[in-house]
Amino acid sequence: MTPGMHQVMAVASLVRRCWGRREPKGIRRHGLRGEDLLATLSEKKRDSLKSSQFGLPAEKKYPMPDKSHARNAKARASQQEEKGNLSASDKKKIDAKADRILDE
């Protein structure tokens, strides 16, 4: 199995449970597959990213090579701020970076 494939299989399983055996019309209409619903990043690809592609470049945290990862970074940053593991200023930096990527 390729890296991240178990995540794709989990998403496909969830889709089937939520909508029965058929995928929802929106997914079929837009040509999305299970792998498109989840932001995955291999270790090799993550290691090859520039520091500027991270929400927190000094720590190499919250990678954002594309829009899917930018949305994910915003969500994870919110969760970590609520838990008290991330400062408000760091969350603001992550959100600003993600918003720039999402507006492209």
Percent of the chain beyond pLDDT 70?
A: 62
For residues 43 and 78, is the Cβ–Cβ distance under 8 A?
no
Query: Does 61 have pLDDT greater than 60?
Result: yes
User: Could you tell me if 31 and 49 lie in one domain?
Assistant: no
**Confidence band (pLDDT; 50, 70, 90) for 18?**
low
Model pTM score = 0.63
The pLDDT, as a whole number, for residue 54 is: 96
User: Could you tell me if 67 and 102 lie in one domain?
Assistant: yes
Number of domains in the chain: 2
User: Could you tell me if 63 and 89 lie in one domain?
Assistant: yes
Domain ranges, residue 50: 42-104
User: Could you tell me if 95 and 59 lie in one domain?
Assistant: yes
User: Could you tell me if 34 and 48 lie in one domain?
Assistant: no
Within 10 A of 14 (CB to CB), how many other CB atoms are there? Answer: 12
Residue given tokens 């918003």 in the structure block: 99
User: Could you tell me if 89 and 104 lie in one domain?
Assistant: yes
